[in-house]
Chains A and B, each alone.
Chain A
Amino acid sequence: MADRDDTPLASTHLDDQMEDFEPEQKSGFLPIETNWFDRLFISVVIWIALSLFWFRFIEPLGLTIWISNAIALVLAIYIIRKG
């Protein structure tokens, strides 16, 4: 009986566990609070958008897609570290 009284409420116990799972939120230059996975996601979204834009408008001018990939990589590193 004593053991039962010492046991925390089930919901409290779960809340503690959820805190363990929640990744660290960060306030960088992005307008929303993000964790590292959010920033990776944003980087991939930008990479794909930039590649499609490059295919449509820049590549016909003679500039290779690898330049777009390099720009996207630099942007990704910047967003993941400072975003």
Chain B
Amino acid sequence: MQSKRLGWIFLAPTLVILFFFGVLPFIYVVYVSFHQWNPFAVNPEMVFNGADNFRQIVFDQAFLNSLGVTVLFVVFAVLSELILGYFLAQAFMRDFPGKAIFRTIHTLPLIVAPIIVGSVWKLMTTPSIGIIPHYLDEWFGITMNIGTSATAAFATIVIMDVWHWTPLVTLTLIAALVSLPPDPFEQAQIDGAGKRQIFWHITLPMIAPAVVATVFIRLMDALRTVDEVWMLTGGGPGSATRFVGVHIFKEVFPKTNYGYGSTISVIVLYLTIVVCWLLYVTMLAPRNKKD
């Protein structure tokens, strides 16, 4: 009994911080999402409007478009990061000349703030001064302009995200791969299993918890990407890269529509939780014994 109390005492600081910085703001956002609120209007009071914001959101074409673009971005970015991260992790498990230097350089993007990443990539991709459009034009005759081409802008953001966040995936997968016991692999090799069979039947099931945790982190991050995109394209051209994060920003700050912005936030949070939960159920949750 005393150890239980001691446990709660140790947990208390974290729980208090979590309550004030996590739970309370969440409750407040849910509360605001049921109101019409423009604090800079003539009437700055919150006006309760029931579920009208939620009624509006399912017909809001701008929001639905931004959701579609975000889902596309998440699929491309997270999948690329996972595949690339796995191959890099496998590469780092082997010895090769210059491994230590390469590993350090490869991890450097992680320490750069997203806003700086966006600025640097903007410099690199701006036509006439950027290094990427310059060499694309000189070597391949391709004209790249992220200010006018929706596809180029979207692809650049995906590549930028992959460049920025693949090292995180690599590091977590290295940790998972290092902790694997050698016995199952030796036994599989003795039994004549091929590399592909070993990957699908031994490696992947054993690193599944790490993969799922990594996907959770990247999925949540990618769904709320704002700063990099804001710096690089500002959501354009048109609404080609207007991800939900950018959409919420534009709804809340320039339009000062706090109620509706909160509704979008709540819906995005709901979708994030559902996607993560489905992923957990599919890959990790204990199956029902009746099945």
Contacts and interface: CB of A to CB of B under 8 A. Distances in A.
Interface of A: 13, 17, 25, 27-28, 30-33, 41, 45, 48-49, 51-52, 55-56, 59, 65
If over half of A's interface residues share one DSSP class (helix, strand or loop), that class is named, otherwise mixed; here it is: helix
Contacts of B281: 31-32
A-B CB proximity, top 5 nearest: A56-B58, A32-B285, A33-B286, A55-B58, A27-B288
A13 B288 CA distance: 29
The size class of the interface chain B forms with chain A is: 20 to 34
10 contacts: A17-B3, A31-B281, A31-B287, A32-B285, A33-B285, A45-B270, A45-B273, A52-B54, A52-B267, A55-B51
Given A25-B286, A33-B285, A41-B277, 5 more contacts: A17-B3, A32-B287, A45-B277, A55-B55, A56-B58
Contacts of A13: 3
Given A17-B4, A45-B277, A56-B58, A27 B290 contact: yes
Contact of A33 (B3, B273, B289): B289
A47 B58 CA distance: 15
B58 A32 contact: no
Interface of B: 3-4, 51, 54-55, 58-59, 267, 270, 273-274, 277, 281, 285-291
A51 B286 CA distance: 29
Given A30-B288, A31-B291, A32-B286, A52 B4 contact: no
Given A51-B54, A59-B55, A65-B51, A33 B4 contact: no
Contacts of A30: 288
A27 B58 CA distance: 35
Contacts of A45: 270, 273-274, 277
A33 B281 CA distance: 10
Nearest to A53: B58
B35 to A, nearest CB: 17
Given A17-B4, A55-B58, A33 B51 contact: no
A18 B56 CA distance: 46
Nearest to A52: B58
Contacts of B59: 56
A59 B289 CA distance: 40
Most interface-central of A13, A41, A55 (chain B CB within 10 A): A55
Given A17-B3, A17-B4, A45-B277, A33 B288 contact: yes
Nearest to A26: B288
Nearest to B285: A32
A33 B282 CA distance: 12
A17 B3 CA distance: 9
A33 B287 contact: yes
A21 to B, nearest CB: 9
Contacts of B288: 27-28, 30-33
B60 to A, nearest CB: 11
A45 B4 CA distance: 32
A56 B59 CA distance: 7
Contacts of B277: 41, 45
B156 to A, nearest CB: 33
Nearest to A33: B286
A51 B54 CA distance: 9
Contacts of A41: 277
A45 B51 CA distance: 17
Given A30-B288, A32-B281, A45-B277, A55 B3 contact: no
